[in-house]
């Protein structure tokens, strides 16, 4: 039986964030170059997006390329940038057809011109999508975005536009790249590592964390459904007591 049938449609996580890890190790285990793992990872994303839509998830944010990934060998960085262009071209018509809206978070200024242009074109072409928002975190890291927000707010204080007292959690959140999305409810990391690698640190304050050993190229809808079922078995207390939470849901 599919895990999909075990999902309570009333408590589907609105926003799922994924750290798509393990492409290189998957390829190595098959005696293939790392690039083959990245290529296979595109299909996993396609399938997982389909699964997320099927389950009723509204936002899917995927860690595609971190700020730290710029330190990988030049050849691998180039492969990844080219793969993104290829994948976007390949996927745009299907995204439009399926009501997927593409968004990007991260330092787009660091991307090669053609990668940035392709991304921007796809964002425009899919802007009307209402079913699910796919957010690619590219050249993204939390420390980058938090430092950037702090700089912006500091400049506004300096210019007398706001007072230091006006800086609240909400104001800081509004200067992050994720301003238009709710915080993730569920964070999944594939590939066996148990860390968050500078991903959405502010936003996952109360997300449920789910780690699995499956390498990203082998991950698909069933694995996502399984994670959602596990998510639904957890009690999200947000600092309250279990009794308070069960009173609230009565
Ligand atoms: C994730 O897979 C993809 C990116 C980070 C771009 P990796 O390339 O990190 O694969 P492993 O972790 O080396 O197996
Ligand atoms: C995190 O994976 C970044 C992406 C999945 C894009 P990494 O493979 O770069 O993370 P570390 O280096 O193992 O922490
Ligand atoms: Mg990795």
Question: Which has the closest alpha carbon to 53: 136, 135, 131, 137?
Answer: 131
User: How far, in Å, is the centroid of ligand 2 from the Cα of 161?
Assistant: 38
Ligand in closest contact with the CA of 137: 2
Question: Which pLDDT score, from 0 to 100, does residue 249 have?
Answer: 82
C-alpha 24/C-alpha 160 separation (Å) is 49
Question: Which pLDDT score, from 0 to 100, does residue 64 have?
Answer: 98
C-alpha 175/C-alpha 51 separation (Å) is 31
| Residues whose CB falls within 8 Å of the CB of residue 35, separated by 6 or more in sequence, listed in order | 27, 76, 79, 83
Question: Which pLDDT score, from 0 to 100, does residue 250 have?
Answer: 80
Give the pLDDT confidence of 145-167 residue by residue, as tens digits: 999 999 999 999 999 999 999 99
C-alpha 199/C-alpha 136 separation (Å) is 12
Residues within 6 Å of ligand 1 by CB: 20-25, 65, 69, 80, 191
Return the H-helix or E-strand segment holding 136. strand 132-140
Catalytic: 21? yes
- Residues β-bridged to residue 200: none
* Mean pLDDT score of the chain: 98
Give the pLDDT confidence of 88-128 residue by residue, as tens digits: 999 999 999 999 999 999 999 999 999 999 999 999 999 99
Q: Which of 18, 19, 21, 82 to mutate to test the pocket of ligand 1 (most atoms within 8 A of CB)?
A: 21
User: How far, in Å, is the centroid of ligand 1 from the Cα of 220?
Assistant: 17
Question: Which pLDDT score, from 0 to 100, does residue 66 have?
Answer: 98
The ranges of the chain with pLDDT < 50 are none
Which pair of tokens denotes residue 70? Answer: 């710029």
C-alpha 126/C-alpha 111 separation (Å) is 20
């Amino acid at each position: 039986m599919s895990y999909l049938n075990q999902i309570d449609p009333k408590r589907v996580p609105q926003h799922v964030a994924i750290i798509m890890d393990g492409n290189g190790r998957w390829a190595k285990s098959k005696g293939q170059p790392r690039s083959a793992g990245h290529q296979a990872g595109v299909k996993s994303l396609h399938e997982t997006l389909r699964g997320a839509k099927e389950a009723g998830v509204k936002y899917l944010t995927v860690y595609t390329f971190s700020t730290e990934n710029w330190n990988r060998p030049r050849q691998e960085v180039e492969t990844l940038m080219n793969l993104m262009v290829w994948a976007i071209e390949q996927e745009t018509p299907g995204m439009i057809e399926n009501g997927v809206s593409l968004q990007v978070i991260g330092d787009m200024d660091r991307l090669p011109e053609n990668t940035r242009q392709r991304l921007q074109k796809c964002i425009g072409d899919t802007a009307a999508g209402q079913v699910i928002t796919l957010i690619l975190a590219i050249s993204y890291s939390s420390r980058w975005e938090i430092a950037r927000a702090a700089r912006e707010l500091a400049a506004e204080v300096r210019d007398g536009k706001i007072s230091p007292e006006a800086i609240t959690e909400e104001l800081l959140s509004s200067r992050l790249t994720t301003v238009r999305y709710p915080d993730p409810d569920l964070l999944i990391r594939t590939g066996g590592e148990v860390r968050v690698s500078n991903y959405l640190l502010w936003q996952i304050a109360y997300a449920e964390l789910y780690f699995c050993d499956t390498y990203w190229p082998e991950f698909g809808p069933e694995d996502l459904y399984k994670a959602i079922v596990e998510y639904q078995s957890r009690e999200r207390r947000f600092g309250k007591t279990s009794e308070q939470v069960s009173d609230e849901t009565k």
